[in-house]
Amino acid sequence: MLTEEIQQIVSHYVMNTYDRFPLAITRGRGCQVYDAEGREYLDCVAGIAVNTLGYGHPDLVAAIERQVRHLIHTSNLYYTEPQGQLARRLVEYSFADKVFFCNSGAEANEAAIKLARLYAHQHYGPDRFEIITMVNSFHGRTLATVSATGQAKVQEGFEPLLPGFTHVPLNNFEALEKVVSDRTAAVMLELIQGEGGVMVADPAYLRGVRNLCSQRDILLIADEVQTGMGRTGTLFAYEQFGIQPDVMTLAKGLGGGLPIGACLATNKVAQVFSPGSHASTFGGNALVCTAALEVLRILLEEGGELDRSREKGAYLEKGLQALQERIPLIKDVRGMGLLRGIELTIDGKPVVMDCLARRVMINCTMGRVLRLVPPLIIQIGELDHLLTVLSDVFTKRLNNIKR
């Protein structure tokens, strides 16, 4: 099928929940994807921060192929080795002691919300159930995670929302202190708000939040669905902020493109879950856990992709700063590692379309913030190409405005 036919069939039979670009992707290799007509694109969206190893990484493909032949899925009524091995690795590399596996970021956050409520309920009784989250946060599209999300646009029409969520502005400690009470079970936040316009939390603010939470036995939940798995230059973003959460959620990059989510917690918190508290049919099946184990190995082996991605993140940062100096349409550039935002003085969508016409895929959040989340395996030459295309696109727009 060609792009137009694919577009038609999808539009006709799939529910209309996505504002899609006129591009049908048929295959990928490295950081390139190919459309139905065979045209090549440099992908700096990477499945929205999912395909950290790009497309068709030979070791990942081989690991998945091997596992497919042995066992794809079995019920969580039984044990599998890949699940145990993956949990062990995640625990070894993080603050956590225990893991719950599910299939997506929203589900990982659902697990975290339930865990926090149960912890508070068991230790302090039924009146302690509130969770404080941040304005412009994004935590998912299930009803609980929509309620947690601090953006009216994802909530409108779905009321009544789940009770017990309060939203305060990120990086405003007084605002947080004001709403904390004996009813507060948890504070939940992203270390960098990805969907919220690549807004980075202030380390001093986070240390204040950590202290406040520790003093009052309020759980600190870090939503690392987007920032986790090397995206910011360390395996988990919290490592660069000088704090440790009590609970952390992962998804996106964890499975190298296969759907997996994880909720990690310290023993103190995790022990409130018992058989029947929470479950997932597919959660942590043998195939996705094998893929995630291989992703971790490739990222963390000596001189592996995570180390290499740090240099590339710094290179991209420098390139974007140089661009900002030349282009008055750029108000701010921010982010960490290979999660970068370019805040514009104009609408971002036409810029995204201009880049697409030049066969470079980028994405836009909050209307005016271009977001770059390329595969961590991206090469310096490819970053140069991205920067050249951005420069050309901005220069053309500037010239049009001047005319």
What are the residues binding ligand PLP (CB under 6 A)?
A: 48, 104-106, 109, 138-140, 190, 194-195, 223, 225-226, 251
| Least CB distance to ligand PLP at residue 231 (A) | 10
DSSP secondary structure string for all residues of 86-115? HHHHHHHHSS-SEEEEESSHHHHHHHHHHH
Quick one: 111 or 351, whose CB is closer to ligand PLP? Answer: 111
User: Which residue is at the shortest CB distance from ligand PLP?
Assistant: 105
The three-class DSSP label of residue 282 is: coil
Quick one: 77 or 152, whose CB is closer to ligand PLP? Answer: 152
| Least CB distance to ligand PLP at residue 275 (A) | 25
| Least CB distance to ligand PLP at residue 177 (A) | 24
Quick one: 148 or 393, whose CB is closer to ligand PLP? Answer: 148
| Least CB distance to ligand PLP at residue 382 (A) | 23
The three-class DSSP label of residue 132 is: strand
DSSP secondary structure string for all residues of 178-232? HH--TTEEEEEE-SEETTTTSEEPPHHHHHHHHHHHHHHT-EEEEE-TTTTTTTT
The three-class DSSP label of residue 79 is: coil
**74-102 exposure pattern, b = at least 16 Cβ within 10 A, e = fewer:** eebeeebebbeebbebbeeebbbebbbbb
Q: In what order do the strands lie in the sheet with 32-35?
A: 25-29, 32-35, 40-43, 360-361
**Is 223 a residue of the active site?**
yes
Quick one: 109 or 136, whose CB is closer to ligand PLP? Answer: 109
Quick one: 195 or 305, whose CB is closer to ligand PLP? Answer: 195
For strand 247-250 and strand 261-265, is the pairing parallel, antiparallel, or unpaired? antiparallel
* Other beta carbons less than 10 A from residue 46's beta carbon: 29
| Least CB distance to ligand PLP at residue 122 (A) | 26
Question: What is the Cα–Cα distance from 293 to 53, expressed in whole angstroms?
Answer: 13
Give the H or E element holding residue 314. helix 305-326
| Least CB distance to ligand PLP at residue 60 (A) | 19
Name the active-site residue from 223, 236, 246, 394: 223
| Least CB distance to ligand PLP at residue 80 (A) | 22
* Other beta carbons less than 10 A from residue 22's beta carbon: 10
Place of tokens 């956050």: 109
Quick one: 223 or 294, whose CB is closer to ligand PLP? Answer: 223
Quick one: 32 or 52, whose CB is closer to ligand PLP? Answer: 52
Helix-strand-coil split of the chain, %, nearest 5: 45, 20, 40
Question: What is the Cα–Cα distance from 176 to 194, expressed in whole angstroms?
Answer: 21
Do 338 and 376 form a contact (C-beta atoms < 8 A)?
yes
The DSSP 8-state label assigned to residue 162 in this structure reads P
**Is 252 a residue of the active site?**
yes
| Least CB distance to ligand PLP at residue 355 (A) | 20
Name the active-site residue from 252, 312, 354, 394: 252
Task: List the one residue out of 247, 267, 245, 243 whose CA is nearest residue 114.
Answer: 247
Name the active-site residue from 95, 100, 138, 241: 138
CA atoms within a 13 Å half-sphere pointing along the CA-CB vector of 298? 25
Quick one: 43 or 195, whose CB is closer to ligand PLP? Answer: 195
* Residues catalogued as catalytic: 138, 223, 252
